[in-house]
Structure 1
Amino acid sequence: MAAPELADYKPIFFSDDEWQFILAATDRLIPAGGKGKALGALETNVPIFIDQQLHSEEFGSEIYMQGPFNTEAPATMGYQIPFRPQQIYQTSIRLINQWSQTTHQKAFHALTLEEKDAVLTWVNKNGIDFAALGEPNLKASQFFSQLLSDTKHGNPRGQILEGDDPFEGPRSEPYPLPALDDTLDNVMFKEAAKKLGYHPFPNPSACVSRAWKNPYGNQIAPCNYCGYCSKYPCLNYSKASPQTAVMDSLKRMPNFSYEVNAEVIKVVLNDDKKTAKEVNPDSMSMSFLLMGADFDLTKYVSTHNVGGAVMGDNPKTSALNKYLQSWDVHNVFVLGGNAFPQNFQANPTDTIGAITLMAAQAIKDQYLKNPGPLVQA
């Protein structure tokens, strides 16, 4: 289906006045032209993206709305606005237009380009006092952050903006969520780096910044900045760990089963002694750390402990080939951090995902069509 043309598009969420504001504001946030004659927000249908996103009933539905809320709280305290994104847009647009009518005797969209830029800068700096206009629970800068984030999401092929990675290549799709809010140490680092002439930017995070239903259909909650990511599972269901992001979908599949706290120490073979028949409870070792016992991390390079059934190019020195297939039993594939021959200095999740994807593709495209060793010893 062809994308709708902006000139012919009828908004499904915004009113006519709100739509005029969105068209004008996004055009100033990402104008067309500049170096390389980049496409702007209007040329890439950013307003349509925002309108359709806000129209979705699920968008923002998982945000905790019970309060109490503290609009003066730092970002590390998590979401502190008693509004869903839809309400943030509608309330803010109404207040900014109200301020613009009082100050300039015209709505925002009717201002000159210079006036629009000045107003948006003023909004970003909380120069427009929403509390004085009747809304004490929302700041102008909070709306600006939301609008800028959504505008950048809708313009993945446009120019690199302030705060983005200046070295990244063009991508066809935006990141699914905006960056997490900066904590104090990030703010201090960013300011110091800028003074030295560098261009700091946020790395993609494995913690989600907003409530989100991922492509597997799993609902993930927004990070509340508790600070216990390292060494702990996420009780808030915000980390992109397999337990949060994938497992719930896998459990609903009829051809999938799993055991927890289990270590496979024996595979039951078929009569041919070349293929696995099953892995049953009798061939597993279950172990638990007793309550109150200490877990000694000092012997490890990092806490991302890996290894156990490593991959390699020689069955004499490795348990698995490059497709994570057992050298000895060809219908056994061991996917995960077990495949690494040594410990990582930092997070191994991306690499685990990459080698698992490669193994899954090999199973689908090669093994299922012709079962047997995918690599000859």
Structure 2
Amino acid sequence: MLPVGISFYTFQTLSYSIDVYRNKLEPTKSMLNFFTYVAFFPQLVAGPIERAINLLPQIENKRLFDYVKAKSGMRQILWGLFKKVAIADSCAAFVDPIFADYTNFSSIGLILGAVFFAIQIYCDFSGYSDIAIGVSKLLGIDLMQNFSFPYFSRDIAEFWRRWHISLSTWFRDYVYIPLGGSKVSKILQLRNIFVIFLVSGFWHGANWTFVFWGFLHALCYIPLIFLKRNRKNLDVIAQNKIFPNFVEVIQVFRMFVIVTFAWVFFRANNIQEGFGYLEHMFKNMFFDNSFLNKVGLETENLYVVTFFIIVMFVFEWFNRAYSFGLYNMPKNKISRYVLYLFLCLTIIQYLSGKNEFIYFQF
């Protein structure tokens, strides 16, 4: 058995040691402050992976209660709980039986299983990050943003700038750049990209499925490097507009499909099972709703979780330029408190305690 949160605090202590070695950070003289940084409880078990240069000064300096920051923290905790309890755990009720017995499901069931897993892992992990960041705000601590609405990305480079930001920037600063980054020949740059994505996959566990998942992302990323399009989409999608244009819609849809296919291998027990899942997805091209009976759920369950997903994406779309889905709230007090009540009652209704956070295992 491994200690709780080992991959997260290992990376934090590594970044501390490397930054001190590079003279980017003065070593702390307080053992208490150092171990508070290493084992800061809100983000210990699943991140975000914090840098000492950001967190240590906040721990060392005196903090006063900030009502505005605390209010924002409470809203972020509420939003994280909604994503985890109402959406991620509801999706898991479909995903687990479908992946466990994929050979007996038709295309519609397998497509639903893949899409719901993509939603599940996002809501599960970003939900935890929202809770950790929100709790930290109550303590007067600002943690880095770990997710920036990655499913609104238009290409794989933008996706990785928005997904698990603390991990991707850690690999960028401590692995990719020391290897030469993009300031080397194309061959070495190609090597560096593969190293980053394969190591990222291996970080998730000693299973070839994670490595293959990283390999697939590398294959999608490399063409952008050679075409010099990896930094094309730096601004938020549909900036200063309510809706995206047609091209952006196609780009986001294409990106979601690619990421969802890669997630199949991340979720599968082995690579052969991942390919088998995709084979059956295209092999049994008939559509029916019998999969609901096989997973032991009713049509109403599908409607409800779909409604929750739509609610989440609507709020995150209108807050896509900010740090979380409830950053900007309705100005009307009645509308605001009706929304709070809806979220609280939904969380209470679906709170079962059966599903732990997926990233607890990494």
Structure of higher CA gyration radius: 1
What's the TM-score, normalizing by structure 2? Answer: 0.26
What's the TM-score, normalizing by structure 1? Answer: 0.26
Which structure carries more helix by proportion? 2
